[in-house]
Structure 1
Amino acid sequence: MTQSPLIIHPTTQLHIDMISQNLPHALILSGPSGVGVATIAKQLAKHHGSPSLTIEPKKKGSDGKFSVDFNAGSMIIDDIRELYSSTRTKHSQKHVYVFDFGDRTMSVQAQNAFLKLLEEPQDGTHFILATHRLDKLLPTIISRSQTIQILPVLQEQTDELLNSVSNIDQMKRSRLQFIAKGLPAEIIRLQEDDAYYEKRIKIMQDAKTMISGTPYEKLLTAHAYKDDRSGAVTLLGDMMMQLTVVLKSTKNTAQAAKLTQLIDTQDALNVNGNIRLHLARSVV
């Protein structure tokens, strides 16, 4: 597969090129948010001549209808059931179905339904699961799939991408480096979406407060995220990133324990734990 416009780590590119020569029935692309797993998956599908066939997380609204929601949705079993009929139809070209999970996942019920598709492979039908949460997939799905870890890109690749960005001052460049080092898709989004950029900067600043602020400042900040699960998960990620930087320069047992606590808190929020309760616990 030829190099995509999205920058890819050289080792990752080699693995993709190799697997593209003989695309497996099921492939998992796993990597951190912002590295470009979904873009790479869609590029692979396009390379093999497949029409656009993307399954995305959905959430039921107050009207009873499902709509795409990467913040609070999940892969629904109805979409999996629809695949049963669509994958049984003969096609003249390959059909590559891309599951664009983002940070979401499938319920155990939906995953068990998906397993049946993997157990009954059809010629010319392939599945690519693009996820940031490999740990949330059933071991039986992982064992029936080939997996490629999508690595963050090299520092020189990050520098090259930032050098290609126009109208960027030194402060913004430094912020992009810190927030999205090695994550080309995230850098591009931050540069192109001003509202998203401002939101991420605010979360990064709030993360600093959650780590080094007064108890009152921490609780006040945590309260601001009580109704924003996606923002709270990102906040915890930024806190972990900042603590990791601190731990590289000083071996602090208390900070290491704090990092472990934050990981547990983020996991709890990802499975719909109470936002206010878990954030409050993370600052006491």
Structure 2
Amino acid sequence: MTDSAFATDEFVRARIDAWLRELGSVRRLAPKTLEAYGRDLGQFMGFLSGHMGGPVTLDSLKALRGADIRAFMARRRSESLGSRSLARVLSALRSFFTFLEREGTLASDALNVIRTPKIPRSLPKALSVVEAKKTIATTDEIEDRPWVAARDMAVISLCYGAGLRISEALALTKADLEADTLRVTGKGGKVRMVPLIAPVRQAIESYLSLAPFRLWPEEPLFRGVRGGVLSPRLIQLRMAQLRGALGLPPSATPHALRHSFATHLLGKGGDLRAIQELLGHASLSTTQIYTAVDTEHLLDSYAKAHPRG
């Protein structure tokens, strides 16, 4: 039951429950997201109930104005809610009113005049070239089992040497390996071809030569110690060990290696469009964040090296 249980009449409450069921069963929202959406809408209904002096009804929603939503957003901001959370609140409200319109219950323009708060775009934390290389090289120093060390080194090499997401690396099969390229299935099932540089291929071949399991062409390449599909959590834990061994910051994660791949390519004069293709970004604007990363690195280097820095 949402926070709106006593702020709405039975009809509106039933529509909220139907909306939440659809989000869970049809759109398959993550449980935490579903919980947050329900809470956000419940708080909105509680606000409207106090704002309008009684339980929220269908007529209340039909009479809703942009000013009412702005007042609610102002209240939430006064409660120290950040821009990212406010954007999620608006997303929940828009989702609910879209649901009402789609089922023919209500059509409202109130949300059309509300702008989503600007969310500060955080820059990826890239490792230096030396840190990235040490991360890969140190893997076999903190793992006694040679095949496990080779496996983890291969996965980490794919994140840095091929720019793969950890989920993409762990979804690879032997059939995805070609002479000099790698067939990668990314978000939305989109397939891209990524060059397979010699050090990455050597890391994979070392793992294949040591793996104690029979690896069929169409099955996942990387396995756990019992032969099941390797969990990303194990690679994340390995990176945590490497951070401790090398004194790296908490931002040094498997995904940071992917960021490092893009940042280092760009720093060496790599073409932004080509990097977009290698990363599997649908939009160039997503890749363009690395220009800011590289600029930040250059400015930092300049400040440290210049006599007047």
TM-score, structure 2 normalization? 0.27
More strand by share: 1
Higher relative contact order (CA 8 A, sep 6+): 1
| Bigger Rg, structure 1 or 2 | 2
TM-score, structure 1 normalization? 0.29
